[in-house]
Chain A
Amino acid sequence: MKRSFALWGATTAGFAGVIALHGPTNQTLSIAQASKATTPAPKSATTSSSPSSASPSTTLAASATKTTVAPPSTASSAKETAIGQQENYGYGQMSVKVTISNNRIVNVAVNSIQALESYSLQLEQQVVPILKSEVLSAQSANISSLSGATYTSEAYAYSLQSALDQLHFK
Protein backbone atom coordinates (compact mmCIF):
# COMPACT_ATOMS: atom_id res chain seq x y z
CA MET A 1 0.00 0.00 0.00
CA LYS A 2 2.72 2.39 0.94
CA ARG A 3 4.63 1.50 -2.21
CA SER A 4 1.68 2.30 -4.48
CA PHE A 5 1.22 5.54 -2.67
CA ALA A 6 4.85 6.49 -3.17
CA LEU A 7 4.75 5.59 -6.85
CA TRP A 8 1.48 7.20 -7.83
CA GLY A 9 1.94 10.13 -5.51
CA ALA A 10 5.29 10.84 -7.13
CA THR A 11 3.79 10.49 -10.61
CA THR A 12 1.14 13.05 -9.78
CA ALA A 13 3.74 15.32 -8.23
CA GLY A 14 5.99 15.04 -11.27
CA PHE A 15 3.10 15.76 -13.58
CA ALA A 16 1.87 18.74 -11.60
CA GLY A 17 5.40 20.00 -11.14
CA VAL A 18 6.32 20.01 -14.77
CA ILE A 19 3.07 21.72 -15.72
CA ALA A 20 3.45 24.36 -13.05
CA LEU A 21 7.13 25.03 -13.52
CA HIS A 22 7.44 24.87 -17.28
CA GLY A 23 4.67 27.28 -18.10
CA PRO A 24 3.32 28.16 -21.55
CA THR A 25 6.51 29.85 -22.71
CA ASN A 26 5.90 29.11 -26.38
CA GLN A 27 2.76 31.10 -26.53
CA THR A 28 4.05 34.28 -24.93
CA LEU A 29 6.87 34.48 -27.45
CA SER A 30 4.60 33.97 -30.37
CA ILE A 31 2.12 36.59 -29.36
CA ALA A 32 4.89 39.14 -29.30
CA GLN A 33 6.02 38.15 -32.73
CA ALA A 34 2.56 37.69 -34.14
CA SER A 35 1.74 41.30 -33.54
CA LYS A 36 4.33 42.19 -36.15
CA ALA A 37 2.48 40.33 -38.85
CA THR A 38 -0.04 42.68 -40.25
CA THR A 39 -1.58 41.05 -43.27
CA PRO A 40 -4.83 39.41 -42.34
CA ALA A 41 -5.27 36.16 -44.16
CA PRO A 42 -8.42 36.91 -46.16
CA LYS A 43 -6.52 39.53 -48.12
CA SER A 44 -4.40 36.88 -49.70
CA ALA A 45 -7.43 35.58 -51.50
CA THR A 46 -7.83 38.88 -53.29
CA THR A 47 -4.28 39.31 -54.51
CA SER A 48 -4.50 36.83 -57.29
CA SER A 49 -8.11 37.18 -58.20
CA SER A 50 -8.58 38.70 -61.59
CA PRO A 51 -11.71 39.17 -63.64
CA SER A 52 -10.73 37.05 -66.59
CA SER A 53 -9.15 33.80 -65.58
CA ALA A 54 -10.86 31.56 -63.13
CA SER A 55 -7.77 29.49 -62.65
CA PRO A 56 -5.73 31.65 -60.23
CA SER A 57 -8.33 31.72 -57.51
CA THR A 58 -9.02 28.09 -57.99
CA THR A 59 -5.31 27.51 -57.93
CA LEU A 60 -5.11 29.13 -54.57
CA ALA A 61 -8.08 27.20 -53.37
CA ALA A 62 -6.52 24.06 -54.69
CA SER A 63 -3.22 24.76 -53.03
CA ALA A 64 -5.03 25.75 -49.88
CA THR A 65 -6.75 22.42 -49.70
CA LYS A 66 -3.45 20.74 -50.42
CA THR A 67 -1.94 22.41 -47.43
CA THR A 68 -4.83 20.93 -45.51
CA VAL A 69 -5.66 23.93 -43.40
CA ALA A 70 -8.00 26.41 -44.95
CA PRO A 71 -7.11 30.05 -44.34
CA PRO A 72 -9.57 31.69 -42.01
CA SER A 73 -12.36 32.85 -44.21
CA THR A 74 -14.61 34.08 -41.46
CA ALA A 75 -13.28 37.57 -41.13
CA SER A 76 -16.18 39.17 -39.37
CA SER A 77 -15.93 42.77 -38.35
CA ALA A 78 -15.59 41.97 -34.69
CA LYS A 79 -12.62 39.67 -35.10
CA GLU A 80 -9.31 39.98 -36.85
CA THR A 81 -6.97 37.15 -37.30
CA ALA A 82 -3.30 37.65 -37.89
CA ILE A 83 -1.00 34.96 -39.00
CA GLY A 84 2.64 35.21 -38.18
CA GLN A 85 5.50 33.10 -39.31
CA GLN A 86 7.40 31.86 -36.34
CA GLU A 87 10.41 30.12 -35.10
CA ASN A 88 11.87 27.02 -36.57
CA TYR A 89 10.40 24.04 -34.85
CA GLY A 90 13.48 22.00 -35.45
CA TYR A 91 12.22 20.37 -38.58
CA GLY A 92 9.68 22.56 -40.23
CA GLN A 93 8.23 25.92 -39.60
CA MET A 94 5.51 26.80 -37.22
CA SER A 95 2.93 29.44 -37.70
CA VAL A 96 0.76 31.04 -35.09
CA LYS A 97 -2.79 32.17 -35.49
CA VAL A 98 -3.73 34.97 -33.16
CA THR A 99 -7.38 35.90 -32.89
CA ILE A 100 -7.96 39.45 -31.80
CA SER A 101 -11.39 40.63 -30.80
CA ASN A 102 -12.08 44.14 -29.61
CA ASN A 103 -8.37 44.80 -29.31
CA ARG A 104 -7.88 41.88 -26.99
CA ILE A 105 -6.09 38.74 -27.86
CA VAL A 106 -8.75 36.12 -27.60
CA ASN A 107 -7.04 33.03 -28.80
CA VAL A 108 -3.60 31.92 -29.80
CA ALA A 109 -3.43 28.73 -31.76
CA VAL A 110 -0.23 27.22 -32.94
CA ASN A 111 -0.18 25.35 -36.21
CA SER A 112 2.75 23.12 -36.46
CA ILE A 113 3.88 20.84 -39.22
CA GLN A 114 1.74 22.99 -41.49
CA ALA A 115 4.96 24.42 -42.73
CA LEU A 116 3.65 24.64 -46.25
CA GLU A 117 0.74 26.81 -45.20
CA SER A 118 2.91 29.35 -43.49
CA TYR A 119 5.37 29.25 -46.35
CA SER A 120 2.50 29.81 -48.74
CA LEU A 121 1.32 32.77 -46.82
CA GLN A 122 4.82 34.14 -46.59
CA LEU A 123 5.02 33.89 -50.35
CA GLU A 124 1.70 35.71 -50.66
CA GLN A 125 3.12 38.59 -48.77
CA GLN A 126 6.05 38.81 -51.13
CA VAL A 127 4.23 38.35 -54.41
CA VAL A 128 5.66 40.51 -57.11
CA PRO A 129 3.26 41.52 -59.83
CA ILE A 130 4.72 41.38 -63.29
CA LEU A 131 3.46 44.48 -64.92
CA LYS A 132 4.16 45.85 -68.30
CA SER A 133 6.71 48.14 -66.82
CA GLU A 134 8.76 45.14 -65.83
CA VAL A 135 9.11 43.97 -69.36
CA LEU A 136 12.71 44.09 -70.28
CA SER A 137 14.16 44.66 -73.61
CA ALA A 138 16.37 41.83 -74.70
CA GLN A 139 18.89 44.11 -76.33
CA SER A 140 19.51 46.22 -73.34
CA ALA A 141 19.72 43.22 -71.05
CA ASN A 142 22.91 41.99 -72.67
CA ILE A 143 22.12 38.31 -72.36
CA SER A 144 23.89 35.33 -73.85
CA SER A 145 20.91 33.01 -74.03
CA LEU A 146 17.20 32.79 -73.45
CA SER A 147 15.35 30.39 -71.23
CA GLY A 148 11.71 29.79 -71.96
CA ALA A 149 9.12 27.15 -72.60
CA THR A 150 10.22 24.84 -75.37
CA TYR A 151 9.68 26.29 -78.78
CA THR A 152 9.12 24.13 -81.82
CA SER A 153 11.70 24.27 -84.57
CA GLU A 154 9.31 26.37 -86.58
CA ALA A 155 8.69 28.76 -83.76
CA TYR A 156 12.41 29.04 -83.19
CA ALA A 157 12.79 31.03 -86.33
CA TYR A 158 10.67 33.80 -84.85
CA SER A 159 12.09 33.50 -81.41
CA LEU A 160 14.39 35.72 -79.46
CA GLN A 161 16.86 32.88 -79.19
CA SER A 162 17.37 32.76 -82.91
CA ALA A 163 18.03 36.46 -82.85
CA LEU A 164 20.60 35.93 -80.15
CA ASP A 165 22.21 33.10 -82.05
CA GLN A 166 22.52 35.28 -85.11
CA LEU A 167 23.86 38.08 -82.98
CA HIS A 168 26.67 35.96 -81.70
CA PHE A 169 27.28 34.57 -85.06
CA LYS A 170 28.03 37.99 -86.23
Chain B
Amino acid sequence: MITRAEPVMGTVVSFLADPNELAPPDVEEAIDLACCELHRIDEQFSTWKASSELSRWRNGEILEVSELMDEVFELCAHACDVSRGFFDPWAMPGGFDPTGLVKGWAAERALSILRRRGVRDALINAGGDVCVAPGRTYRVGIRHPSFADALCGVVEVDTSIATSGIYERGDHLVNPFGGPIAAVSATVVGGRLAIADALATALAVGGKEVLYLIEQLDGVEGFFITAAGGMFKSSGMKFSDLPEEQV
Protein backbone atom coordinates (compact mmCIF):
# COMPACT_ATOMS: atom_id res chain seq x y z
CA MET B 1 0.00 0.00 0.00
CA ILE B 2 1.24 3.42 -0.89
CA THR B 3 0.34 6.28 1.36
CA ARG B 4 0.86 10.01 1.25
CA ALA B 5 -0.07 12.82 3.58
CA GLU B 6 -0.30 16.16 1.82
CA PRO B 7 -0.88 19.37 3.76
CA VAL B 8 -3.22 21.47 1.67
CA MET B 9 -6.42 23.48 2.15
CA GLY B 10 -5.61 24.10 5.78
CA THR B 11 -5.75 20.39 6.55
CA VAL B 12 -3.96 17.24 5.53
CA VAL B 13 -5.15 15.05 2.69
CA SER B 14 -4.23 11.37 3.07
CA PHE B 15 -3.84 9.06 0.13
CA LEU B 16 -4.04 5.29 0.33
CA ALA B 17 -3.42 3.41 -2.91
CA ASP B 18 -2.90 -0.21 -3.78
CA PRO B 19 -0.56 -0.37 -6.78
CA ASN B 20 -1.83 -3.83 -7.85
CA GLU B 21 -0.04 -4.47 -11.13
CA LEU B 22 1.21 -0.91 -11.49
CA ALA B 23 4.77 0.01 -10.65
CA PRO B 24 4.95 2.00 -7.43
CA PRO B 25 6.68 4.99 -9.08
CA ASP B 26 3.71 5.30 -11.46
CA VAL B 27 1.38 5.36 -8.51
CA GLU B 28 3.53 7.96 -6.81
CA GLU B 29 3.42 10.02 -9.97
CA ALA B 30 -0.35 9.76 -10.12
CA ILE B 31 -0.52 10.92 -6.52
CA ASP B 32 1.78 13.82 -7.41
CA LEU B 33 -0.61 14.91 -10.11
CA ALA B 34 -3.55 14.56 -7.77
CA CYS B 35 -1.78 16.72 -5.21
CA CYS B 36 -1.12 19.35 -7.88
CA GLU B 37 -4.84 19.43 -8.55
CA LEU B 38 -5.56 19.84 -4.84
CA HIS B 39 -3.21 22.77 -4.61
CA ARG B 40 -4.70 24.30 -7.72
CA ILE B 41 -8.16 24.08 -6.21
CA ASP B 42 -6.83 25.53 -3.00
CA GLU B 43 -5.45 28.51 -4.90
CA GLN B 44 -8.76 29.03 -6.58
CA PHE B 45 -11.13 28.45 -3.70
CA SER B 46 -9.37 29.31 -0.49
CA THR B 47 -11.19 31.87 1.58
CA TRP B 48 -7.93 32.55 3.41
CA LYS B 49 -6.09 33.70 0.31
CA ALA B 50 -7.05 37.12 -0.94
CA SER B 51 -5.79 36.22 -4.41
CA SER B 52 -8.08 33.22 -4.82
CA GLU B 53 -10.83 33.46 -7.38
CA LEU B 54 -13.38 32.91 -4.66
CA SER B 55 -12.07 35.75 -2.53
CA ARG B 56 -11.95 38.10 -5.46
CA TRP B 57 -15.50 37.18 -6.40
CA ARG B 58 -16.65 37.69 -2.82
CA ASN B 59 -15.03 41.12 -2.81
CA GLY B 60 -16.68 42.04 -6.04
CA GLU B 61 -13.36 42.35 -7.83
CA ILE B 62 -14.48 40.00 -10.53
CA LEU B 63 -17.94 39.47 -11.94
CA GLU B 64 -17.36 36.59 -14.35
CA VAL B 65 -16.16 33.31 -12.95
CA SER B 66 -14.39 30.27 -14.35
CA GLU B 67 -16.15 27.08 -15.36
CA LEU B 68 -14.87 25.33 -12.28
CA MET B 69 -16.32 27.97 -10.00
CA ASP B 70 -19.58 27.67 -11.91
CA GLU B 71 -19.56 23.94 -11.27
CA VAL B 72 -19.12 24.61 -7.58
CA PHE B 73 -21.97 27.13 -7.62
CA GLU B 74 -24.22 24.51 -9.23
CA LEU B 75 -23.26 21.88 -6.72
CA CYS B 76 -23.84 24.26 -3.84
CA ALA B 77 -27.26 25.16 -5.17
CA HIS B 78 -28.13 21.51 -5.58
CA ALA B 79 -26.90 20.66 -2.10
CA CYS B 80 -28.83 23.59 -0.66
CA ASP B 81 -31.94 22.27 -2.38
CA VAL B 82 -31.49 18.69 -1.27
CA SER B 83 -30.85 19.76 2.31
CA ARG B 84 -33.78 22.15 2.21
CA GLY B 85 -31.57 25.04 3.15
CA PHE B 86 -29.75 23.49 6.07
CA PHE B 87 -26.60 23.57 3.99
CA ASP B 88 -26.56 27.11 2.68
CA PRO B 89 -23.19 28.48 1.59
CA TRP B 90 -24.83 31.78 0.88
CA ALA B 91 -25.91 32.21 4.48
CA MET B 92 -22.37 32.23 5.86
CA PRO B 93 -21.35 35.28 7.86
CA GLY B 94 -18.58 36.38 5.49
CA GLY B 95 -20.61 35.85 2.34
CA PHE B 96 -20.79 32.91 -0.01
CA ASP B 97 -18.59 30.16 1.43
CA PRO B 98 -18.57 26.80 -0.30
CA THR B 99 -15.87 25.36 1.93
CA GLY B 100 -18.24 22.74 3.31
CA LEU B 101 -18.48 21.23 -0.15
CA VAL B 102 -15.22 22.14 -1.88
CA LYS B 103 -13.14 19.80 0.23
CA GLY B 104 -15.14 16.76 -0.75
CA TRP B 105 -15.37 17.97 -4.31
CA ALA B 106 -11.63 18.42 -4.51
CA ALA B 107 -11.08 14.94 -3.13
CA GLU B 108 -13.40 13.55 -5.83
CA ARG B 109 -11.39 15.29 -8.53
CA ALA B 110 -8.13 14.01 -7.05
CA LEU B 111 -9.52 10.48 -7.00
CA SER B 112 -10.57 10.66 -10.62
CA ILE B 113 -7.02 11.71 -11.55
CA LEU B 114 -5.70 8.62 -9.80
CA ARG B 115 -8.20 6.41 -11.59
CA ARG B 116 -7.40 7.90 -14.96
CA ARG B 117 -3.78 7.03 -14.33
CA GLY B 118 -4.79 3.41 -13.81
CA VAL B 119 -4.98 3.25 -10.04
CA ARG B 120 -7.91 0.96 -9.41
CA ASP B 121 -7.89 0.80 -5.65
CA ALA B 122 -7.50 4.07 -3.86
CA LEU B 123 -8.86 5.96 -0.91
CA ILE B 124 -8.52 9.68 -0.37
CA ASN B 125 -9.19 11.21 3.02
CA ALA B 126 -9.42 14.98 2.84
CA GLY B 127 -9.30 16.03 6.44
CA GLY B 128 -11.94 13.55 7.51
CA ASP B 129 -13.98 13.32 4.29
CA VAL B 130 -13.31 10.09 2.48
CA CYS B 131 -13.93 8.94 -1.05
CA VAL B 132 -12.92 5.57 -2.45
CA ALA B 133 -12.48 4.17 -5.92
CA PRO B 134 -15.38 1.85 -6.74
CA GLY B 135 -14.88 -1.85 -6.54
CA ARG B 136 -13.52 -2.23 -3.06
CA THR B 137 -14.96 -1.75 0.37
CA TYR B 138 -12.95 -0.07 3.08
CA ARG B 139 -13.52 -0.10 6.80
CA VAL B 140 -13.67 3.50 7.95
CA GLY B 141 -13.80 4.39 11.60
CA ILE B 142 -15.72 7.38 12.87
CA ARG B 143 -14.03 9.52 15.43
CA HIS B 144 -15.74 9.58 18.75
CA PRO B 145 -16.94 13.14 19.40
CA SER B 146 -15.73 13.05 22.99
CA PHE B 147 -12.52 11.08 22.73
CA ALA B 148 -9.98 11.99 20.10
CA ASP B 149 -8.26 8.64 20.09
CA ALA B 150 -11.34 6.47 19.98
CA LEU B 151 -14.12 5.57 17.60
CA CYS B 152 -17.86 5.58 18.02
CA GLY B 153 -18.46 3.31 15.08
CA VAL B 154 -17.06 1.60 12.01
CA VAL B 155 -18.67 1.77 8.60
CA GLU B 156 -18.03 -0.23 5.47
CA VAL B 157 -17.57 2.35 2.72
CA ASP B 158 -17.62 1.69 -1.01
CA THR B 159 -18.40 5.22 -2.18
CA SER B 160 -17.87 8.08 0.24
CA ILE B 161 -18.25 9.17 3.84
CA ALA B 162 -18.16 12.64 5.34
CA THR B 163 -18.32 13.82 8.92
CA SER B 164 -19.05 17.23 10.27
CA GLY B 165 -18.71 18.24 13.84
CA ILE B 166 -18.02 20.99 16.32
CA TYR B 167 -15.41 19.27 18.40
CA GLU B 168 -12.41 20.26 16.33
CA ARG B 169 -11.10 23.71 16.97
CA GLY B 170 -11.68 25.94 14.01
CA ASP B 171 -14.67 24.03 12.78
CA HIS B 172 -17.46 26.49 13.12
CA LEU B 173 -20.97 25.54 12.07
CA VAL B 174 -23.69 28.05 11.27
CA ASN B 175 -27.40 27.35 11.27
CA PRO B 176 -28.85 29.24 8.29
CA PHE B 177 -32.21 29.41 10.06
CA GLY B 178 -30.64 30.99 13.09
CA GLY B 179 -31.37 28.23 15.53
CA PRO B 180 -29.03 26.07 17.56
CA ILE B 181 -26.78 23.36 16.11
CA ALA B 182 -28.40 19.98 16.55
CA ALA B 183 -25.39 17.71 16.85
CA VAL B 184 -21.85 17.52 18.00
CA SER B 185 -21.05 15.14 15.20
CA ALA B 186 -22.86 14.07 12.04
CA THR B 187 -21.84 11.55 9.41
CA VAL B 188 -23.23 10.87 5.94
CA VAL B 189 -22.37 7.79 3.90
CA GLY B 190 -22.96 7.19 0.21
CA GLY B 191 -23.27 9.12 -3.03
CA ARG B 192 -20.85 11.79 -4.21
CA LEU B 193 -18.43 13.02 -1.60
CA ALA B 194 -19.14 16.65 -2.47
CA ILE B 195 -22.81 16.16 -1.63
CA ALA B 196 -22.11 13.91 1.36
CA ASP B 197 -19.83 16.64 2.64
CA ALA B 198 -22.59 19.23 2.35
CA LEU B 199 -25.19 16.88 3.81
CA ALA B 200 -22.99 16.07 6.78
CA THR B 201 -22.78 19.77 7.52
CA ALA B 202 -26.52 20.09 7.08
CA LEU B 203 -27.13 17.09 9.30
CA ALA B 204 -24.96 18.45 12.07
CA VAL B 205 -26.90 21.70 11.92
CA GLY B 206 -30.42 20.42 11.38
CA GLY B 207 -30.47 17.09 13.13
CA LYS B 208 -33.64 15.04 12.77
CA GLU B 209 -35.16 17.15 10.07
CA VAL B 210 -32.16 16.62 7.80
CA LEU B 211 -32.03 12.96 8.75
CA TYR B 212 -35.57 12.77 7.51
CA LEU B 213 -34.47 14.19 4.18
CA ILE B 214 -31.58 11.76 4.01
CA GLU B 215 -34.04 8.97 4.70
CA GLN B 216 -35.75 9.83 1.41
CA LEU B 217 -32.53 9.74 -0.60
CA ASP B 218 -31.60 6.51 -2.25
CA GLY B 219 -28.15 5.19 -1.49
CA VAL B 220 -27.40 7.80 1.18
CA GLU B 221 -27.45 7.09 4.90
CA GLY B 222 -26.48 9.08 7.90
CA PHE B 223 -26.44 9.50 11.62
CA PHE B 224 -25.71 12.18 14.17
CA ILE B 225 -24.79 12.38 17.82
CA THR B 226 -26.20 14.98 20.15
CA ALA B 227 -24.35 16.66 22.96
CA ALA B 228 -26.27 14.55 25.42
CA GLY B 229 -24.81 11.48 23.86
CA GLY B 230 -27.76 10.16 21.88
CA MET B 231 -27.22 8.77 18.40
CA PHE B 232 -29.93 9.08 15.76
CA LYS B 233 -29.50 7.10 12.58
CA SER B 234 -31.32 6.62 9.31
CA SER B 235 -33.01 3.29 8.75
CA GLY B 236 -30.38 2.00 6.33
CA MET B 237 -27.40 3.07 8.37
CA LYS B 238 -25.35 0.01 9.15
CA PHE B 239 -22.32 -0.25 11.33
CA SER B 240 -19.76 -2.88 10.80
CA ASP B 241 -19.52 -5.72 13.28
CA LEU B 242 -16.32 -5.60 15.14
CA PRO B 243 -13.95 -8.53 15.12
CA GLU B 244 -13.05 -8.26 18.79
CA GLU B 245 -14.28 -6.97 22.08
CA GLN B 246 -14.23 -3.27 22.69
CA VAL B 247 -12.36 -1.45 25.35
In Å, the complex CA distance between A142 and B241 comes to: 11
- The B-contacting residues of A in range 116-170, CB under 8 angstroms, are 116, 119-120, 123, 126-131, 133-138, 140-153, 155-156, 158-162, 164-165, 168-169
In Å, the complex CA distance between A63 and B153 comes to: 26
Q: Is the CB of B149 within 8 A of A147?
A: no
Minimal Cβ-Cβ distance residue in B for A65: B179
A12 within 8 A of B: no
Minimal Cβ-Cβ distance residue in A for B246: A136
- The A-contacting residues of B in range 187-210, CB under 8 angstroms, are 187, 207-209
Q: Is the CB of B129 within 8 A of A156?
A: no
A38-72 interface code vs B (CB 8 A; 1 in, 0 out): 00000000011110010110110011001100000
Interface residues on A, range: 35 or more
B182 interface neighbour in A63, A67, A116, A153, Cβ under 8 Å:
A63
B20 CB contacts on chain A under 8 angstroms: none
Q: Is the CB of A143 within 8 A of B152?
A: no
In Å, the complex CA distance between A145 and B138 comes to: 8
In Å, the complex CA distance between A26 and B246 comes to: 48
A143 interface neighbour in B154, B181, B209, B212, Cβ under 8 Å:
B154
Q: Which of A141, A150, A151, A156 has the most CB of B within 10 A?
A: A150
A141 CB contacts on chain B under 8 angstroms: 139, 141, 151, 154, 242
- The A-contacting residues of B in range 204-245, CB under 8 angstroms, are 207-209, 211-212, 215, 225-233, 242-245
B140 within 8 A of A: yes
In Å, the complex CA distance between A86 and B32 comes to: 55
In Å, the complex CA distance between A38 and B20 comes to: 55
Q: Is the CB of B163 within 8 A of A138?
A: no
Interface locus among B21-29, B108-116, B120-128: B120-128
Q: Which of A119, A136, A155, A169 has the most CB of B within 10 A?
A: A136
In Å, the complex CA distance between A31 and B142 comes to: 42
A76-120 interface code vs B (CB 8 A; 1 in, 0 out): 000000000000000000000000000000000000000110011
**Interface residues, chain A, CB within 8 Å of chain B?**
47-50, 53, 55-56, 58-59, 62-63, 66-67, 115-116, 119-120, 123, 126-131, 133-138, 140-153, 155-156, 158-162, 164-165, 168-169
A-B contact pairs, 23 of them (CB 8 A): A48-B230, A50-B228, A59-B180, A116-B212, A123-B208, A129-B230, A130-B144, A130-B145, A130-B152, A130-B229, A133-B246, A138-B141, A140-B243, A141-B242, A145-B141, A148-B185, A149-B163, A149-B185, A151-B11, A158-B148, A159-B148, A160-B141, A169-B3
